[in-house]
Chain A
Amino acid sequence: MIRYFAKRLGMMLVALFLIMLLTFCIMHAVPGGPFTSDRNMTEEVEAALNAKYHLDRPLPEQFYEYVTGVLRGDLGPSYKYPGKEVNEFVVNGFPVSARLGFITILFVLLAAIPMGILAAVKNGKWQDMVLMAIATIGVTIPSFVIASVLIYVFSFKLNVLPTYGLDTWKGYILPVVALGGYSISYMARLMRSSLLEVMGQDYIRTARAKGLSELKVILKHGMRNALIPVITVLGPTIANLLTGSFVIEKIFAIPGLGGYFVTSVSQRDYTTIMGVTIFYASFLMAMIFLVDIFYCLIDPRIKYE
């Protein structure tokens, strides 16, 4: 077991290295650089800036330098915000994204699981159809469209919720709904199909033959089995929500990690792109790792060799 997890950890580090290498290559393959701008900059100034940040050196050398920096825990200086470190962006941006993400996860779980259960129990009846129609809309409409519609209705027309910022609790409502909309729909559908499949199993018939009430059959025998696929998607979903949806943060002007990422890409702020990517990738892998450990706890059949 410990050996298995040690192996997994090693594989994660290899994956992380490959992600760094790929991002680095793709980033440099895109035309332009951090100091290419509309303003006319003399060639000497640009050369001096490139030299300052070692951008004039061969790419392998730059990569080596960057990786050693990361190993020391230093994500490097931002090229676009003089005097700022990428570490600062992560330290400042992540808590904002994480708080929004955490609330969204709670909202997603509290909404999606009961929705899925209700739809499965009322399989084929009107409740099921209404819920699944909502869920289908939720997975097909992009979050920025949902966000725009929400802002239009609740901020402009009804004028009850703010359009941006997280200063009051009201500020959280629209971003949470827009951010969680997809995950709720996706998970509710997953929960429904998973529970429906489980409820057709022989051991559910056994539970009914014991004289248990339908509620107990669902909660004690159905749910735990039906939750396994939901937990599988929960890991990546948590990582996704905690690190911030890039688009949603941009729309609601939330100073989270996602906002930095979008800006950094358009500005070719190499170190910020790399830093946020690495942070996101490690967080995602850590979450998947956690899910694997959690499997062990919920399903005694799973033994990692």
Chain B
Amino acid sequence: MEPILNIDNLKVSFMTSNGEVQAVRGVSLSVGKGEILGIVGESGSGKSVTSMSILHLLADTARIKEGSSIRFDGEELIGAPKKRMREIRGEKISMIFQDPMSSLNPLIPVGKQVAEMLLEHHKDISKDEAKKAVLELFAKVRIPEPEKRYKCCPHEFSGGMRQRVMIAMALANKPELLIADEPTTALDVTIQDQILQQLRELEKEYGTSIIFITHDLGVVAELCDRVIVMYGGLVMEEAPIDEIFEHPSHPYTMGLLNSIPDMEQDKAVRLKPIPGSPPDMTNPPAGCPFAPRCPYARKICGAELPEFTQVGEGHSSRCFLLYPDAPADDNNPFRREV
């Protein structure tokens, strides 16, 4: 699959009064045309910062480091002029954010907010035409009574409805890439399911590539073609969707899988949370960032950062235990299977 987006060695830091917070420390990933890529990780793993860097939406305190590259459709976005970025935002790449309650302007009717997206990028369409297009979009994302809803303000909408408005807005210009940053996290499970279905249908209809950011592997399973697991500002594992559930090849991924509740699971078996908390990114560990929480960690894990090991077709993982010379003892979960 030809990639539409290529991120190479992305490093982002935030300058704070406590020093430099290294939020993203060399992330490389690519998204194919029409592909849905999931990025999974807990808070502070750098997944949102990675996605915000693409459209230059990071706070002023953020610094993208020398040597980072984000190529969209062959065009380098890092260092691109503001004017060019404005053309890309909303037209070629659009975003849906986590909190639909606060992502819409509370004082402007939702219809107008969506129409603005069209009018900004197409100088030749009239306000009436924009309104007509918005009503069609509303119908497409299943907002009931679009005509009536057009004039309503965000506070008159439920969370799920607002997220539908956000989706309608994001898709207004049929972008080539949609970045969805935890779009279902703030919603009820039932609404979450409807929104996911919506995204899947729209991906089919428009052929839009999607980057779907979440901390929920269950959601990834339902939607994505491929998944990237991030931790401590680094990519830990990258794999096609089936692979990640059948052959998780990083202790962190295994930890994440163990903490997903299962409907058929015996109630006596308790969920296993991953002990400990993510590393302090003002002073990131020299070795594998997961080592302090990893049940299989060796001496070397805390001292050096492992490189990627290819474990299957499009499946690679950053762990010393996958190295050919790793000891195949009982405390190595991988050597026994291979």
Contact = CB atoms under 8 A, between A and B. Distances in A.
Interface of A: 201-203, 205-213, 220-221, 224-225, 298-301
B335 interface: no
B90 A301 contact: no
A30 B259 CA distance: 76
A211 B121 contact: yes
B89 to A, nearest CB: 4
B30 to A, nearest CB: 22
A300 B99 CA distance: 20
Given A201-B102, A202-B99, A211-B86, A300 B94 contact: no
Contacts of A210: 89-90, 94, 116-117, 120, 169
Given A206-B105, A210-B169, A211-B120, 8 more contacts: A203-B105, A205-B103, A209-B90, A211-B85, A221-B108, A225-B107, A300-B106, A300-B107
A239 B88 CA distance: 49
A225 B106 contact: yes
A205 to B, nearest CB: 6
B153 A300 contact: yes
A209 B86 CA distance: 8
Interface of B: 55, 57, 85-91, 94-95, 97, 99, 102-109, 116-117, 120-121, 153, 155, 166, 169
Contact of A225 (B85, B105, B153): B105
A212 B57 CA distance: 12
B273 to A, nearest CB: 29
Nearest to B172: A210
A207 B107 CA distance: 13
B21 to A, nearest CB: 18
Given A300-B155, A301-B153, A206 B87 contact: no
Contact of B103 (A202, A225, A299): A202
Contacts of A206: 95, 97, 103-105, 166, 169
A207 B105 contact: yes
Most buried by B among A206, A213, A220: A206
The 5 closest A-B pairs by CB, nearest first: A211-B89, A211-B90, A202-B102, A210-B90, A300-B153
A198 to B, nearest CB: 10
B89 A209 contact: yes
Given A211-B87, A211-B90, A205 B97 contact: yes
A221 B87 contact: no
Contacts of B109: 300
Contacts of A299: 106-107
Nearest to A209: B95
B57 A208 contact: yes
Contacts of B86: 211-213
A127 B107 CA distance: 30
A302 to B, nearest CB: 10
Nearest to B179: A209
B149 to A, nearest CB: 14
A208 B89 contact: yes
B57 A209 contact: yes
6 contacts: A206-B169, A211-B117, A221-B108, A298-B107, A300-B153, A301-B153
Nearest to A205: B57
Nearest to B173: A211
Contacts of B91: 211
B106 A203 contact: yes
Given A224-B107, A298-B107, A203 B169 contact: no
A221 B103 CA distance: 12
A207 B87 CA distance: 13
A7 B333 CA distance: 73
A208 B52 CA distance: 12
A203 B55 contact: no
A4 B116 CA distance: 35
Most buried by B among A211, A221, A225: A211
B57 to A, nearest CB: 6
Contacts of B169: 206, 210
Nearest to B106: A301
Contact of A203 (B85, B89, B103, B121): B103
Contacts of A203: 102-106
A214 B87 CA distance: 13
Contacts of B90: 209-211
A206 B57 CA distance: 9
Contacts of B85: 211
Most buried by A among B88, B120, B153: B120
B60 to A, nearest CB: 9
B2 to A, nearest CB: 25
A212 B153 CA distance: 20
A229 to B, nearest CB: 14
A24 to B, nearest CB: 44
A210 B155 CA distance: 21
A211 B155 contact: no
B28 to A, nearest CB: 24
B187 to A, nearest CB: 15
A298 B106 CA distance: 11
B102 A212 contact: no
A205 B104 CA distance: 10
Contacts of B116: 210, 212, 220
A292 B258 CA distance: 55
A225 B155 CA distance: 14
B24 to A, nearest CB: 18
B97 A202 contact: yes
A213 B120 CA distance: 10
